Chains A and B, each alone.
Chain A
Amino acid sequence: MTTVDEERPAPPELAPARRVRPTPATALYDAFGPRGRRRVLVATVVSVAVLAGFAVFVLYRLDRYGHLQRARWSYVLSPEILRYLGEGMLNNLKASVIAGALALVLGLVLALGRLSGTRAIRVPAVAWIEFFRGFPLVLLILFPYLLFPVYLRAVDPLWYVVIGLTLYNSAVIAEVYRAGILSLDRGQQEAAYAVGLRHGQAMRLVILPQAIRRMVPLLLTQLIILFKDSTLGVAVTYPDALRRGETMGSFEPRVVFQAIIVTAVMFFLVGLVASRLVGVLERHWSRG
């Protein structure tokens, strides 16, 4: 009997071919029969045709208005201009790093405040979080920009961007931490109390180390959003990449189109690489 079993081919679920990542919606349809395959083929041909038609239309339009001219692109893609835009991107990064660090710390304080047993701490923390989360970020950047010159003194636009980003993200990140803390099994906290730890000790030694590890991918995702939002510094004349792209267009009107597109592609590449890295990290950790 055993020999027969050994000779039988492995069941299809275990065959290596099945380990290929399934298409996004495998639950919706079975393997296709001949008619289904024909329909998929038709859909494939139609979608290729539509996409190709769209691409041709866009290229025709670009060419008609002279945007495919080599000189225009080589001007925008010259080393000096790319450095100029790249430095703008570094300004985005600078504002994001400062605001991100501040928001991570402030967010933790707020999350702990919201989970505190003391009413006098909990209420202000909840108010802060709900208030700043419900606000458009542009306004939070405009407020210091408008208030500082009147009540204090004008400072470098960088700080208006940092203040706005920090206020908004402290509230968002506080909620990320809180979700992480609440997602832990209650038994963790109960066990910590049972061995005689106080609330603060239990948080510091038992809850937070686990919660934060669990929350790292979400925190990183929020930091990427923060980076993208740093383009709102345009509202307060902060010289970020987008503003520089726009400025370049205004002193060389023939390349406005190219300047904005190159800027957009730069943001796209940075965002795509960053979010892919977070995805890789997430899978790596969830496996480990």
Chain B
Amino acid sequence: MSRKGWLIGGAVVIVVAVVVALIVVSVSGGDSSGDASSPAETKGGTEVAALVKGLPQADFAIGKPGAPVTVREFIDPQCPVCKAASEKTIPGIINGPVKDGTARLIIEPLTFIGSDSSSGALAIAAAAQQDRGFAYTEVLYANQGQENSGWATDEVLTGIAAATPDLDVEAWKTARTGDAAANAVFASSDRGTAAGVSATPTFVVSGPGGTKVITGAVESSEVNSAIEAVS
């Protein structure tokens, strides 16, 4: 073989060896980083505790039970825009009309994105049995993973339960697999269909003055104006 032929052969062998080494490092590195990332730190517990402090919570709702206006927020646990709404829209509604008794906010979990949506929605419904549906939802959004990546594992959802203020984790675990949680999620889905919800988040604001529907992670002032308009 020519000298260049030998050079080519040698270079190709070296490159193949380098690629194999990279793959080996990738596989072993993948294992160790998987171990490190699995007991993920749960975020948002403190913030949500401050948000809900002193407000009446019941089932999926937060706010005075007799409030003239009801805001139903249709969400999917996986939807990134719902996470954005949780950060941008919700605090202004809670600290405004919910706190002053004008409105009550009710979480309506839908499950259209994928299997992580279903496990997330059931986890919310289980927390709702302890009147912590809203609080659990907000902590969940602080820990949301990539859509359909399988992020909503038992471990992550339990971590969220533990970080949710005033939630009995053991009772929540039992409730998660029960029929009541599933039926609550089905009921939300039915209400979503009835209201013509085709995207999340959708805020359905209803009061004595009628109903207004707002979609997206809007400014909280937009929802608050709607609350004022129908109250």
A and B held together in a complex: no
- A residues adjacent to B (C-beta < 8 A): none
- B residues adjacent to A (C-beta < 8 A): none
